[in-house]
Structure formats: structure tokens, C-alpha cells
Structure 1
Amino acid sequence: VAGLGGHWLAGRRGVSAARDAVTLPAPVAPAPPVPAGADLSLSRLAPYVTPNREFYRIDTALVVPQVDPVTWRLRIHGRVRNPIELSFDDLLARPMVERYVTLACVSNEVGGDLIGNARWLGVPIKELLDEADPADGADQVVGRAVDGWTCGTPTSVLRDGRDALLAVGMNGEPLPIQHGFPARMVVPGLYGYVSACKWITELELTSFADFDAYWVPRGWSAQGPIKTQSRIDTPRPRSRPAAGPVTVAGVAWAQHRGIRRVEVRVDGGPWQEATPAPAVSADTWVQWSWRWDATPGEHTLQVRATDTTGETQTDQRAPVAPDGATGWHTVRVTVT
């Protein structure tokens, strides 16, 4: 055990040094600027852009993979007419785009924090797939990590024009090792278990009929589009705000569709329209706020969001399995 631990620590130091030596290329298409007012800068409210050190991490790796970028290779193969193999230098030499994208985990409970927004730098996956030229019927792209973990993403989603990236940068620096260095997938609009392969080493073109990715035999849906959701960040559950004006605020998301409306209600009363803050694009969450004239006593706050397709969150509570939780986030407070 001591020998294995020492070997892992040596590898970790080596990969950390290799990461520190990486110089990311400037994007040919920089991310749009964050609009004024996108971050309400309220206490307890999640920031519009999540710092790397606070970004959630969910994966099956018992030990974080230590991948040397010098020896790393990406294979694009399977049901393609033109298999491709790229080194890390090959990848960095390609034109890069930069985009803000919010990622969410399918195991995020209603009101949970397994979600974050970051500025990603990478190569559009569509361009790589177009070069590989998928064969007819190859409706699934299997991302495979260095430790063998797999996720299955619809080929059509990766080629429909959204900013699906093979990312090498996160918030202006090389990917943190725990977030997939040297490269990972970032796909707006899909839960991470079907799209966000970290430490990626393969993109295999296959079909949903022929292959089940890691989580599918374990009871999760083969395809996982993100559901419209919202969350109250302030006031916190069981807090004791003073009577009078109280700012109720939180975040709402419906990646790749966008948020049209956020509503709040108190004690089961009529829904009141909150004010959404501006956002970079439909691929990120939005902050929202609502002024509440709070009266003394115990109160229940609830929030719901409506996306740009007109779909409003259901009040029906459902667990995270098999394809994401549903329900309205509810917070109970005592006003003093």
C-alpha cells in the first residue's frame, strides 16, 4: 500500500507540473462578456461564475486519474469513415472557442448544489465528428475515460450547432486535474452522466441499440436532457430573517433552452413574478430576486421556473433516478 501510495503521489506531482507548464491558446471565438447585473452579489447566493475550487465534482474514480499530457491520445473511432487520433499538442493547435456553460449532475436533488457555471475553452466536438464522418446509424457517441468509465451522448446533439466542446480550459486556466485534465467533454443541455466525460481518451461512434454506457445497466436512462429547475439560495432553510423587506433570491436553469420566467409564492398563496438577472446565453443558469414584505411567524417559500418553450416546472416530486429530480424547491423560515 505504501509503495502504491508513493507511486501515485509521484505521478500526481508530475502531472501537476505538466499542467502548470501548459499554455492555453487564445480562442478564435472568445466567450461573450458577462452582462452587467448578471451577478447580484448577494450573500448566500451562488455566484454567476463558479470558481474552480468550488465547482462540484461527481465521478466514479476512487483515485483521481493522473494523465500525462505528453503521452495522452484521443481516438475517434468505431462506426466512422475516417478514424482520427490526436495528441494534446494536436488538440491545442486547433482553433478554440470559449463559452460559458452550466453543468448539472443528474443526481442533484431539488434545491441541491451539484451544479455550476464556468467559462470553458475547447474545440467544437462537431468539427471533430465531421472530420471522422460517422457512418449511417451511428446515433451514439461513447466518451471513454482513461479508467474505462463511459457515457453515451446522442450524435445528433453533438452535431446540432450547440457549443459542445472537447474542453482543455476552465475559467482561464488548464482544466484542474480533478475536473478532467488534460481534456473533457462539455455539452450544454444534457446531464453530466451522458455527456461530461472527464479524462477522456476515446470518442467511439456506435448506436444506443448496440451499447449501454456505464450508468444505463445500473438503472439510469440512456438519454438525459436537463430538466427546468430553480432553487432558493436566500433566505436559507430554518433561518430567522427580521420582519420587513426581505430579498428572496436564487438561481434557475434550463440549459440550451433558457429561462423565461421565475415565480415565488409564500404559504401557498398566489405566485409572484420574480426578476431574472441577465445571462450570457441560454446555456447558463440565471440569478433571480424578489422582494418580500415579510410578516412575523413561520412561513413557507416556494419557487418555480418556466423555460423559453413555455414549460413550467411540475410540482410533482420525483427522485433523481432514472433521469433527474422534479418538484418545487421549498424553504421554511421563521420571521422575527
Structure 2
Amino acid sequence: MTTTTRRHAALAGVTAAAVALGSAELVAVLTGPRSAPLVAVGGLVVDTVPEPLKQLGIALFGTYDKIALLVGTALLLASFAALLGVVSRRRLAYGLTGVAAFTALGVGAALTRSGANAADALPALVGGGLGAVVLWAFVAGPLELDPWPWSPPAPPAAPPPPAAPGVTEAAPATAGPAAPPASGGPAVLPAPDGPGRWQAAAEPAPPGPESRRRFLAATGLLLGAAGVAGLGGRWLAGRRGVSAARDAVTLPPPASPAPAVPAGADLSVPQLAPYVTPNTGFYRIDTALVVPQVDPATWRLRIHGRVRNPITLTFDDLLARPMVERYVTLACVSNEVGGDLIGNARWLGVPLKELLDEAEPEEGADQVVGRSVDGWTCGTPTAVLRDGRDALLAVGMNGEPLPVEHGFPARVVVPGLYGYVSACKWVTELELTSFADFDAYWVPRGWSAQGPIKTQSRIDTPRPRNRLTAGRITVAGVAWAQHRGIRRVEVRVDEGPWQEADLAPAVSVDTWVQWSWRWDATPGEHKLEVRATDSTGETQTARRTGVAPDGATGWHTVRVTVR
């Protein structure tokens, strides 16, 4: 196979894969976006990839980890598709077998997702079928660029007529090079095993301009159609979402409003995170590659399991209950020291303690398993949800209905616990069980069954890339120890003595606090460190550990240059 032929074969394979994915996205408009092969296989990867790789993805891409996963999966698929196109030029059956394998992978991934049904297999089946047709058309069908150059055997040469009597027969002429073939055919050479047998040349003649134009036009047309189908399918799926239903929700006024943010809680220092995180800037870490679209009209919450009084609530039932509004800072267990996977918001919801008290948990039911509409689970200690803290089944965030990506129509918010053990978004079930009887999603993957938030602090300004001028410089950041509160923040320069920073006021112990310290900076390279002490008197440890299994520890350090 020539280099040109190999490139064209690879392009044919990629085009077939693009047609498969684009058509599958279009079919997924009817069956649901989670059934699209790229999303279904990506979800399978999320569930099965080793934890170190998952944490590496979060560390590298942060809240863009899902986009990175989908792009990476698409690039990997394109590479395999190109390889299938090349091997198909040697034997079509190899390429079709590869297409069948990828189709089976897509079907299996879609059918094993939580809540899947038989219809979820359709996108992969339709996409795989169309991809196989396109591959055949390029390799052996009407779109074939350069047919394989074997020629049929030439008819045997007629024997020469007998010589006339008395005439001496001339010696046969020495065989010369084979005559060129007729225009448009491959070169043929006499076979070494006897006259009348012919074989094709080892390499095909390059395709002509007309054949090349036809091939490139076909690939361009199919790739464009695949792109339109894929993007159009995603757009149509979005149009079928719940944004309109969310916009129609009117939240009731809280029976217990949130305390007012005290004056001075937000220092308004450049580069310092605001005291209240806007919805558009709030971090999002979860396992859902496609944001679940849950219609509030059909949403139900079941409180069941080891309870004496099972409860089922509609969204209207929930909105009719007395609402509590509170500021609560949430943090992800994947937040590295100095990371930004943390945010503070004003939440509106129903106290979980009241709901659990009505359900009457049985003796020994020490775990409440929150189950999302996509099957994700987290396990929260029952005692924590009933100890008087403002644990909420939330329906509002910063004065509006929950954003769809943050759990609309309802989610769980628990002060003092990392999100992986408490913050169930798109929640549909609260099941009372025990830690001895059930391990939630992250526990078999090596994470602690219970995850209280650790005391932490962060330097927001100055930052490592800042160029500073000698003189008085404001060093500022945030510190948090939800449900305990921060008593003190200290800063030191170049491992010198610790200097106590000024704390801004905060709404409650359930939120982070801003801090600032004035530094008389001198020219040179300097190292700034920060540590916090919570209201129990515990100072965060200097020992640096990773996020697994229950949250990172260590002092945040920033190195700066002062001129």
C-alpha cells in the first residue's frame, strides 16, 4: 500500500467513525443524551478508571475534567478509526469487525448505566450500522478511491504456425520487458512459472485526479453532515431540557431567612475570592458527563429503607413546606492545598432533620444514602443530619432556583462534610441503611466512608506570577473549617516567625472567612506560608498529603518575586 493510499484509507476510517457518532447523537435526541455512545463510554470510563488517573484529570483540568475526558475519548476513537480504515484496505472484514466491536462497546456502556432501558441501545446500533456502510463504500463500494490493482490472467498466446517445408525455423527472440498495459490498467508482468500466466505489479498506480476529487468530495460531504448531525443532536437535546421548567419555578419566601452578611465580610481585594460565590463561578465536580435534565413535574423524592414511616414527596409538596435559608460553604474532597474547588452560597431548602424525624429511622440506621437520578450515591451519617446543623434539602441557590448543573430541582447541602459524602445533586432517594450494610459510590474506590472537612487556608493574593514592588503589600486569602469556624489565621515569610492576620467577619461558622495581612516586602525571592486554627484550637498540620482518602492537608505556600 502506498503512503497516499494509506492516508486515504485512514481518512476513510475517521469519516466512518464521524458518521457513526454524528448519527448516534441525532438518535439520542429521542432516547436521551446519556445513551449517546461517546457519553455512555465516557461514563463507563469515569466509573472504571483507576483513582490515581481520575485525580490526575481533576488536578490537570479542574472543573473542565469532563470536557477533557470527552475530547480525549473522541481523539482516541479517531486514532482507532484511522487504523481500522488502513487494515480495511487489506481485508474489509477486519475493519467491519472493529466497527462491530466498537458498536458492542457503545451498546454495553449504554445499557449498563443506571436507569437504562432497551431503547438506549439504539444510538450505538444505528451509528455502528451507518459507520459500517460508509467504511464499505470507501473500501469496496461506489466511493472507492483506487481499486486493488490485480488483473485477470491474460489468455494464453496462440502457438506460431508451422514452418513451411524447407524453410529453417527462426530462433525465438529473446524475451524483453513486458509491454505496457492498455491505458488505465495496472502494469502486468509475465509470471516466472511459464508462458500465458500473468500477475499484477506489487504497487498500484496512483489514483487519477478524477478519482481523488471524488474521494475528497465524499469525505468532505460526509464529515460535514456528521458534524451537523452531532451538533444538531446536542442542540435538540438541550432544547428538550428543563430550562423552561426551571424558569417557571417561583421559590417561596423563607420562613427563616439567612442572616445578613455583616459589613466588612468581603474585603474586595483584587484577586481575592468574593465572600459569596456567584452561581456561574461555583465549582462543579461530579460524575455526570451529561447534566441530568429532571422535570420538576415528574420529580419524586422517596425517603425509605430502615424507617417506620416511608415518605414520598413531589416538588410541589416540597415547596409547600416551611423553607430555611442559610449561607453554607461547600468544598470538594478533591481540592488540593491552595485549590479552588470550594465556594460559598446562600441556599434555600427544607431542613433534613424534619424530614428524617417524620420518617422515623429505625435503630441502627446510621447512614442516609442519597441517590441521584443517574444512580450516583453518597453516604451521610444519620446523626450528622439530625444534630441541629443546617443540613438542607435545597431547592434554591443565591436567590434563584438551583441551576440545572448544580442539582435542579433538588439537592442535599450539609455544612462540615465534603461533597462526596453529602452533596447529592439531582437527588431522588434518601435511603436509611447502615455503613456496615452499604458502601456508597466512592467508598469501594478507596475513599473514606465519612469525610468531615479539614481546617484549611489559602493565599489568594499575591500569586506566583505576580511581579511585586517593594513596600507595603496586602497578603489576603480565605480560611475554612465548616461547622467549627476559624479562630485565627497566621502568615509567615521565608520561614520566619508567624504573624497573625486580620479576620473579616463571617455570617456563621458554616462559611469560610476572608483574612488579610500587611507585609513590608523587601526586594528578592520570598516564600509566603499560611495556616489556620479552628474554634476547637486545632491548627492545621504542616504535613502535606494528597486528597485521598479523606482530603488534603498542608500549608499553602506561594513564592513571589519582589523588585
Q: Fold-level match, TM-score > 0.5?
A: yes
Task: Choose the corresponding residue for 1:56, options 250, 271, 283.
Answer: 283
Does 2:357 correspond to 1:130? yes
Post-superposition CA distance 1:159-182 (Å, at most 9, x none): 000000000000000000000000
Deviations 1:83-117 (A, max 9, x none): 00000000000000000000000000000000000
Shift of 1:238: 3.2
Q: CA deviation at 1:237?
A: 1.3
Instruction: Letter of the 1:261 partner, please give it.
Output: R
* Partner AA of 1:245 in structure 2: R
Conserved 8 A contact 1:76-1:84: yes
Choose from 144, 147, 165 the match for 2:392.
165
Alpha-carbon deviation of 1:6? 3.4
1:290 is the counterpart of 2:517: yes
Residue equivalent to 1:85: 312
Secondary structure of 1:217's counterpart equals: helix
Identity of aligned residues (%): 85
Distance 1:233 1:261 in 2: 17
1:3 maps to amino acid? L
Is 1:176 matched up with 2:403? yes
Aligned 1:1-336 pairs, distance under 5 A: 1-7=24-30, 8=33, 9-10=235-236, 12-13=238-239, 14-336=241-563
The code of the aligned residue for 1:174 comes to P
1:184–1:196 contact (8 Å) kept in structure 2:
yes
- Hey, what's the Cα distance between the residues in 1 that align with 2:538 and 2:488? 10
Larger helix proportion of the pair: 2
Shift of 1:4: 4.0
What is the RMSD of the two structures over their aligned residues, measured on CA atoms?
Answer: 0.8
TM-superposed CA distance for 1:11, in Å, is: 5.2
After alignment, is 146-155 or 5-14 more displaced? 5-14
Distance (whole Å) between structure 1 residues aligned to residue 447 and residue 28 of structure 2: 34
Q: Measured at CA, do residues 294 and 85 of structure 1 come closer, stay the same or move farther in structure 2, by a change above 3 Å? A: same
1:3 CA drift (Å): 2.0
TM-score of the aligned structures, taking structure 1 as reference length: 0.99
Q: 1:99, 1:40 → 2: CA distance?
A: 21
User: Do the aligned partners of 1:259 and 1:305 also contact (CA within 8 Å) in 2?
Assistant: yes
Letter in 2 for 1:169: G
SS in 2 for 1:90: helix
Contact kept, 8 Å, 1:11 with 1:66, in 2: the verdict is no
- Report the secondary structure of 1:127's partner residue: helix
Consecutive unaligned residues of structure 2, counting only runs of 5 or more, are: 1-23, 34-234
Following superposition, the deviation at residue 240 of structure 1 comes to 1.4
Q: Secondary structure at the match of 2:420?
A: helix
Larger RCO: 1 or 2 (CA < 8 Å, sep 6+)? 1
- 1:10 CA displacement: 4.4
Work out the CA distance in 1 between the residues paired with 2:27 and 2:425. 23
Computing the radius of gyration over CA atoms, which structure comes out larger, 1 or 2? 2
- The verdict on how the C-alpha distance between 1:168 and 1:11 changes in structure 2, with shifts beyond 3 A counting, is farther
Unaligned runs of 5+ in 1: none
User: C-alpha distance in 2, partners of 1:228/1:304?
Assistant: 9
Kindly state the Cα deviation for residue 239 of structure 1 after the two structures are TM-superposed. Answer: 1.7
AA matched with 1:57: R
Greater mean alpha carbon deviation, residues 62-71 or residues 236-245:
236-245
Distance 1:301 1:308 in 2: 24
